[in-house]
Chains A and B, each alone.
Chain A
Amino acid sequence: MELLLNLVIYLPLLGIAGILALRNDKATKWISLAATSATFLLSLPLLFSFDVANSGTVQYLTEGSNIMAGLDIKYLIGLDGLSLLLFMLTTLMGPIVILSSWDSIKKHLAGYYSMLLLLQTASMGVFASLDLIVFYVFFELSLIPMYFLIGIWGGKNRIHATVKFFVYTLVGSLIMLVGLIYTGYDAGAAIEGYKFTTDWRFLSGSEYQIGLVEQTYLFLSFALAFCIKVPLFPFHTWLPYAHTEAPTAGSVVLAAIMLKMGTYGLLRICLPLFPNAFVEFAPYLATLAVVGIIYGALVAMVQKDVKKLVAYSSVSHLGFVVLGLFAFNTIAVQGALIQMINHGLSTGALFLIVGMIYDRTHTREIEDYGGIAKVVPVFAVMFMIATLASIGLPGLNGFIGEFLILNGTFSSEVLPQNAFVVFAALGVILAAVYMLWMYQRVMFGPIKHEENKKLVDLNAREIGLLVPLVIFMVWIGIRPTDFTQYSEVQVQELLESSNEKRVAIQQSADSEDLPQWASNLYDVTDELASKIKNQ
């Protein structure tokens, strides 16, 4: 099984080799489809034989040897409850993304599909790696193919968009790298005979505790990188550009997979490594999340470009995820995890759908449509389902995530103010407003433009690649437990152990050793410290 996991991750690279060897446009497409389909099929056994009861333990673990004595950096790959579903989402989106490009990409096919395949490997790597250096490598690796996908196969302003995307996220990552190296040395010092370690299992465990001052800086360095990636308001401005200019497949991968790397990072790294900072900064980040929910929705409402609208809706939706993570309890974090999947499915579907109509009309302006429901009924139905999933209609996936996040946050001890939930829930109203209003202007009314009367409805390929997404939208909506079960145990354990660690660190902290701001921030008082000492 360990071997299978590695095979799944690197299979797309084999596809690239095939593409480069054959150098034939038709073969390129089929090789890509075969590689991603095989990746998906081979990943299924990983899902089926996953031990749900032990989701807190890393499974299918491959552990390489240290690159140098005392330097504990190693190839460490495996899946656990936090990563399994995101990993599966990535393998599922693989063939869908390839198929979505089938007829719409006409130049430099070999390069294009190679980039998609490389992106596939990098994304899977991000979710499967458990050594933070390896994680970082995959995290950065995923930027490069996306940079080219937007920059070469994108729309008119692709260069501006891709440079902004690349530089912005890279700046965040570099700051994270500094934090990462510091953490590595700090943790290495905690183990006899080591100088450096980035083994997540050790870092997240209870033996390794980071002092409050260091935690603050480290948390901020990691959180900044992840918040840019999510993107959390106000770090989001690269997203509308990147989404609008990216080719359909790029937008889909960006929305469905890459944005999740940010929220995933917050959960995988920030929460267990820096629990004190995570909890103390929760109200601030939750505030940004809630502002993002409403802000993203209001800005989405007035967009004239469908893709931009969906991009801003992502800012709004991912605000929910971030809110759930910082609520720091099982219900909300589980909600956030399933909402990551949901957002991938429904926003992925929306970008696919927008791409399909763009292929026919070559416009993304809402104004250029109107009344096309009658001409393309199947398209209308698919679009409607994705829209409804996106606005959180009960019975479909989006509702489950939003409800769990809001319900969990409402009883959160870390975010005790009900205002977080009340304002976030306003986003539910706004989502209905901007999505249905857009749908109405694009699909309903009389046909506004003569040329749209000749639009062709979805073909079998297009229906085929949307149907799996629709199935999952309904499935998660009706039986979410089939999905949340994979992370249930781990989320619970992780929250408990992180909280214990947090309390332990706080109690052992001595206010005399701390600067004033840190004692205030972490509520470390003289009395508390002396009480602990006397015991």
Chain B
Amino acid sequence: MDSATTLTSLIIALPLLGFLVNGLLGLSSKSFRQRKALIGTIANLTVFIPFAIAVYFFINMGQDSAPIFAELFTWIKVGSFSVDIAYQLDQLSILMTLVVTGVGFLIHLYSVGYMWEDEGYWKFFAYLNLFIFAMLNLVMADNLLLLFLGWEGVGLCSYLLIGFWYTDMANSAAGSKAFWYNRVGDFAFLVAMFLTFQHVGSLDFDVILSSLEAIPADDKFWIAFLMFIGATGKSAQIPLFVWLPDAMAGPTSVSALIHAATMVTSGIYLISRMSEMFVMSPEVMMIIAVIGALTALVAATIALTQNDIKRVLAYSTVSQLGYMFLALGSGAFTAAMFHVVTHAFFKALLFLGSGSVIHAMEHVEHGLHEEGKDVHFDPQDMRFMGGLKEYMPSTYKTFLIATIAIAGIPPLAGFFSKDEILAFTFNAGFAGFAEPLYMVLWGVGILTAFLTAFYMFRLTFGTFNGGFKLPEKISEATGAEKYLHESPKTMTIPLWTLGGLSVVGGFLGVPNFLLSTFTHQEEHINLLHNWLYNVTADYGLGLSHSVEWILMTVSILVAVGGVYTAYKMYGSGATEESDAKLADRFGALYETWKEKYSLDEFYEGIVVHPTVKWSDKGLAKFDMKIIDGIVNTVGGVVRLFGSVFRYIQTGVTSSYALALVLGVILVLSMLIL
């Protein structure tokens, strides 16, 4: 093994090792479970070292470097089918690896403090390590099948971690739900792989991408379409997104890591990885863009009606993922990856910040119980918060940074990535396929940008501004604010680190026109574009500088407008009053948003309930009564014959003789007559 292969395998192997050590020792030894510092150290190191290795690779990699391949061993080899356990580090996968291990490490660090009191501490870190292992397989695989191993692996970890507090049935039900919705997508993914193999004879990325002409156009459409369906499961898009909000049942650091920063972006990674194939099928590109824009809008409208701080963030994640799909569908793969990165920073930060808030609110509840007061409230409900900025300055400041970033205010991270997506959507309006439609989608994107700024500031103002509402709501809780406190250092350090990244992250992708307008020549200041140039098949940007300036101005104005509106309505912390105003103004529409478009009820009523009922009352009965009934009838008929013939077999010789004589007479009479 050369050193690159060794290091690559280390990236993959260490998190697995961490899982095995913490998992097996934790399962078998009670005393090990108590050694929380050791468990935390193992778990953190097995993510940090891979991060360090990834950084080393990154530094030594140029934008034109050939990919590093590490082939470990043959996985499956049967007949003409062969697939290896083999990894590939190119510009795209190293980017994802850095995000997964980097943000992953920060969240591991945060979890040391966040989960310290939990009795399943060892198990939590074992699962978290397993997740990193699976996620790294997903982003580093050099073939579709190994990617799929990671794909289902992260799904498993998501299932285990959503249902981490499994003694509450709602949590484990949410876990199962996530797994099932993902399986629907995985089913499509599987068929896409079969179709690919049928035409290409391999599942290796380089073979597939270099023999695309071997696939007939129709099947190219189907492969791309089915892969996209797979992506809608994992990346929570219409029609399969309903599992993600429920997934918030898991510990908050899980929401940050899995359901915001990494796993849910798998679909975007997959499509970027296969971008050369997707661009050959403009119909699929259009479908992706439409679904992305719709998801962005639908989720944003739901987000502005929710009061559970984590649920708002969950819908916000769905909405932001929608943006990324809009980017993919507009041929802006780099912009999509850019948004993956910046979103990982600010959304992880938002979740960790919300975790910090929830931590504090739980502490309040706990403190009141200690006093002997029987006070119960939902520690995630914004309506009991307010005014927290006084008590939790670090959490507040970092949360605010992330909010500004996601709202798209320059020059923070979200601004550049979202602006690029919108510019490319506009650009796709001139790309020759479904042009007017892309213009409409641009409009939807702009509208959603306004909503994003609005609902995010509603959340931040509602949580941190105004006065602390718990004592106002529950008289027994008077003086409860004395229990409010900032979270420990292990939690605030990751907050500030992510805060820093949310501020500067956008400079990875500063648009080229910002400079070339002044220098009047082609500039390449967009680092991410330069970096991914060889890997993704982006559409060319054919807009003039003046158009680009106008587009950027529009998106800034919209974002500022959203912030301003939110400030006017919610700046003082009057959440419920302003919500009531909104409900008044939008009437039935608002109800629809608040009811989350009743999608859960729809699936429940149309698919789940009828299937279960039909299987129970129909099939299971059919099986026992009809199918088994036929078997029994056949058996019964045979027995009937047997019981009739039994009477003939009397064993009395004289009756046999009689029968013999009768028979002879019968035969003779037939012959004579």
Contact = CB atoms under 8 A, between A and B. Distances in A.
Interface of A: 164, 167-168, 234, 236-238, 295, 298-299, 301-303, 329-331, 334-335, 371, 373-374, 377-378, 381, 388, 393-395, 400, 403-404, 406-408, 410-411, 421-422, 425-426, 428-429, 432-433, 436-437, 440, 443-446, 478-481, 484, 488, 492
B190 A406 contact: yes
Q: Which of A374, A381, A440 has the most chain B CB atoms inside 10 A of its CB? A: A440
Contact of B620 (A299, A329, A421, A478): A299
Q: Which 4 A-B pairs have CB atoms at the shortest separation, nearest pair first?
A: A330-B79, A445-B169, A444-B172, A302-B616
Interface stretch (B175-183, B278-286, B507-515, B580-588): B175-183
Interface in B51-98: 73-81, 85
B619 interface: yes
B627 interface: yes
Given A299-B615, A429-B180, A400 B76 contact: yes
Contact of A237 (B74, B198, B616, B623): B623
Interface string B585-617: 000000000000000000000000001100110
B167 A303 contact: no
A484 B78 contact: yes
B73 A373 contact: no
20 contacts: A237-B628, A295-B619, A298-B615, A299-B619, A373-B166, A393-B153, A394-B152, A406-B194, A410-B195, A428-B190, A429-B180, A432-B180, A433-B183, A437-B176, A440-B176, A446-B168, A478-B75, A480-B78, A481-B76, A488-B78
Contacts of A371: 167
B430 interface: no
Interface in B135-151: 145, 148-149, 151
A436 B180 contact: yes
B431 interface: no
Contact of A481 (B74, B148, B176, B628): B74
A428 B79 contact: no
B635 interface: yes
B198 A411 contact: yes
Nearest to A491: B79
B146 to A, nearest CB: 9
Contact of B179 (A373, A436, A478): A436
A371 B163 CA distance: 12
B611 A410 contact: no
B191 interface: yes
Contacts of B547: none
Contact of A440 (B78, B153, B173, B615): B173
A355 B627 CA distance: 28
Contacts of A381: 27
Contacts of A335: 78
Contacts of A411: 194, 197-198
Contacts, number: 143
Contacts of B176: 436-437, 440
Could you tell me the dominant secondary structure of chain A's interface residues? helix
Given A331-B81, A407-B194, A432 B179 contact: yes
A488 B78 CA distance: 7
A298 B179 CA distance: 18
B180 A302 contact: no
Nearest to B190: A425
Given A411-B197, A429-B184, A446-B167, A394 B190 contact: no
B440 interface: no
B628 A429 contact: no
A527 to B, nearest CB: 32
A488 B80 CA distance: 11
Contacts of A400: 76
Nearest to B149: A394
A421 B615 contact: no
Contacts of B631: 164, 168, 237-238
A480 B166 contact: no
B78 A479 contact: no
A408 B80 CA distance: 10
A436 B616 CA distance: 17
Given A234-B627, A298-B619, A428-B190, A404 B76 contact: yes
A434 B199 CA distance: 34
Given A393-B153, A436-B180, A445-B168, 11 more contacts: A164-B631, A234-B627, A299-B623, A394-B151, A422-B191, A429-B184, A437-B176, A446-B167, A479-B73, A481-B75, A488-B79
A237 B627 contact: yes
B365 interface: no
A302 B172 contact: no
B611 A446 contact: no
A440 B190 contact: no
Contact of B27 (A377, A425, A440): A377
A330 B78 contact: yes
B25 to A, nearest CB: 13
Nearest to B173: A440
B204 interface: no
A22 B64 CA distance: 78
Contacts of B288: none
B163 A444 contact: yes
Contacts of B194: 406-407, 410-411, 421
B179 A428 contact: no
Contacts of A378: 27
B131 to A, nearest CB: 13
A42 B163 CA distance: 45
Contacts of B151: 394
A303 B620 contact: yes
Given A377-B27, A480-B75, A302 B620 contact: yes
Nearest to A404: B78
A432 B624 CA distance: 24
Contacts of B169: 440, 444-446
Given A394-B149, A406-B190, A481-B77, A445 B172 contact: yes
A329 B27 CA distance: 44
Contacts of B78: 330-331, 334-335, 404, 480-481, 484, 488
A393 B184 contact: no
B360 to A, nearest CB: 27
Contacts of A425: 187, 190-191
A480 B76 CA distance: 6
